[in-house]
Amino acid sequence: MNLNNATITELHKLLTDKAISATELTQHFLSRIAENDSEINSFITITPEVAIEEAKAADLVLAKGQHTMLTGIPMAHKDIFCIEDIRTTAGSKMLANFIAPYTSTCIEKLRHAGTVTLGKTNMDEFAMGSSNESSYFGPVHNPWDKTKVPGGSSGGSAASLAACLCVASTGTDTGGSIRQPASMCGLTGLKPTYGRISRWGMIAFASSLDQAGCFTRTAEDAAILLEHMAGHDSKDSTSLNLAVPEFTAALSEPLAGLKVGICSDYFKEGLEPEVENLVMDGIKELAKMGAEVVEIELPHTKFSLSAYYVIAPAECSANLSRYDGVRYGYRCKDPENLEDLYKRSRSEGFGSEVKKRIMVGAFALSAGYYDAYYRKAQQLRRLIKNDFVSAFEQVDVIVGPTAPGTAFPLGAKTNDPVSMYLQDIYTIAASLAGVPAISIPVGLSKGMPVGLQLIGNYLEEAKLLRVAHQFQQQTNWHQQQPQSNLL
């Protein structure tokens, strides 16, 4: 078996059959990173010593037969998750030298389950972006075509998996940052229900939207990971206090009788025709598998981008006020006084996209404008949420495109913020409502991957994963590989 693109399930079998050790598997991926990442730039920090130590521990656990499905599985983590004693930068100069003093709950749980930490992946600065070009550590290149972006903000996590530099990776999704890069890199990308996975130790961008999730090769692997990442955490007040379902248990139930909603607003101008055709073919495939396709309306979805670009900057302006040059993070040289320290540390430490958002957010929250912008945006958010509540009275899942096009050339949209923001036109509504969604590969357009988005009702990740898994049993789009992997 080719280890490069093997799934968690396949590698688990090799590990428990003793066909390979966790240490050998880890060495394999560390060498792949060393050989291939200079052209992709998907890692900010590689942690070989930590990885080998964890792999050796995993081998002992495997020898004793006390393993989980994840024991010895090498993973890459978005550099937004704090891991004790490892540099955690959030893709920013502000935190370029920040060594985290504790480990985020989500990563702690994955490590507890026996995963191996290969390193921390590149990302848009503080997760603001859709192309992974706003990182202080340089842009990430899409393994499918290195002149193109991988999507963002979790572009490093997506690219590292697409280039077979890890077996699975973590990401965060505030408005689309797992689903859109998954779509552009030909991967399965899951954003669970808001609150399903603890945000503790995950560097905050917009706290009412931020949600951890994962990139995998298959929906089955995503189900395995979610079982270990999810769960209540008293350290995060928005973490859901609910038992974690066995997401893998229902995967094989057939789709007969399932109602799939399509919304005509998702197929209007702005969607590349080839992407539309592939998404339509994907929907036909679901129908062939027994699902009933039903037209639904989401009348307020068209306001989601506008609402998001008030709410997310507002929350970011509050969250990022902690970077003041005093406590931790970047500090300017030779400040003249306290004000100069604040001003220069923040001006020099943050990049332009982050500064723009802090200014927009502070403006939207200011006394004179709060009602005109922030309150209105929150009202729209409620209407967008209500649309989903009524839609899910009629259907089980909503299906449509993940992104309006395939990966675009590096630099193509850096001076066109509106076109960049439109990348998330199909993903943001689910983030505002807090419902779960997944992107799965649905074909190639001019050699580049296209994603199909499935949105589910609150807490119905199991249903989403089941539809995605069944789809992957009938199609092989998720097994397509970038040419460069085969060289």
What is the side-by-side strand order in the sheet with 397-401?
Answer: 43-46, 116-121, 74-78, 168-173, 211-216, 188-191, 437-445, 448-456, 397-401, 259-263, 292-296
176 binds ligand GLN (CB under 6 A): yes
Q: How far apart are CA 300 and CA 380, in angstroms?
A: 7
- Tell how far CA 238 is from the center of its chain: 19
- Active site positions, annotated: 78, 153, 177
Q: Which of 128, 358, 360, 391 binds ligand GLN (CB under 6 A)?
A: 128
Contact 448, 464 (CB under 8 A): no
Residue nearer to ligand GLN on the CB measure, 360 or 448: 360
129 binds ligand GLN (CB under 6 A): yes
Residue nearer to ligand GLN on the CB measure, 289 or 384: 384
Contact 234, 199 (CB under 8 A): no
Residue nearer to ligand GLN on the CB measure, 174 or 239: 174
Q: Shortest gap between Cβ of 402 and ligand GLN (angstroms)?
A: 12
- Taking CB under 6 A as the binding criterion, the range among 49-57, 92-100, 106-114, 124-132 that sits at the site for ligand GLN is 124-132
Residue nearer to ligand GLN on the CB measure, 202 or 255: 202
- Taking CB under 6 A as the binding criterion, the range among 22-30, 100-108, 125-133, 252-260 that sits at the site for ligand GLN is 125-133
Q: How far apart are CA 265 and CA 149, in angstroms?
A: 26
Pairing of strands 397-401, 448-456: antiparallel
Q: Shortest gap between Cβ of 94 and ligand GLN (angstroms)?
A: 17
Contact pattern for ligand GLN over residues 184 through 223, marking x by CB under 6 A: ---------------------x------------------
Residue nearer to ligand GLN on the CB measure, 85 or 416: 416
Q: Which of 59, 173, 220, 460 binds ligand GLN (CB under 6 A)?
A: 173
Q: List C-alpha distances in Å: 198 to 3, 121, 168, 201, 244.
A: 31, 20, 19, 8, 12
Contact pattern for ligand GLN over residues 291 through 320, marking x by CB under 6 A: ---------------------x--------
HSE of 254 in the Cβ direction (CA atoms, 13 Å)?
7
405 binds ligand GLN (CB under 6 A): no
- Alpha-helical runs (H) found in 269-303: 273-288
Q: Closest-CB residue for ligand GLN?
A: 177
Q: How far apart are CA 92 and CA 95, in angstroms?
A: 6
First-last CA distance in the chain: 17
175 binds ligand GLN (CB under 6 A): yes
- Alpha-helical runs (H) found in 98-154: 105-112
- Taking CB under 6 A as the binding criterion, the range among 40-48, 128-136, 232-240, 374-382 that sits at the site for ligand GLN is 128-136
Give the CA angle between residues 265, 391, 154 to the nearest 5°. Answer: 65
Strand (E) or helix (H) holding 261:
strand 259-263
Contact pattern for ligand GLN over residues 130 through 169, marking x by CB under 6 A: x----------------------x----------------
Contact pattern for ligand GLN over residues 325 through 354, marking x by CB under 6 A: ------------------------------
Contact 298, 388 (CB under 8 A): yes
- Taking CB under 6 A as the binding criterion, the range among 31-39, 51-59, 123-131, 218-226 that sits at the site for ligand GLN is 123-131
Residues forming contacts to ligand GLN in the complex (CB under 6 A) are 127-130, 153, 173-177, 205, 312, 424
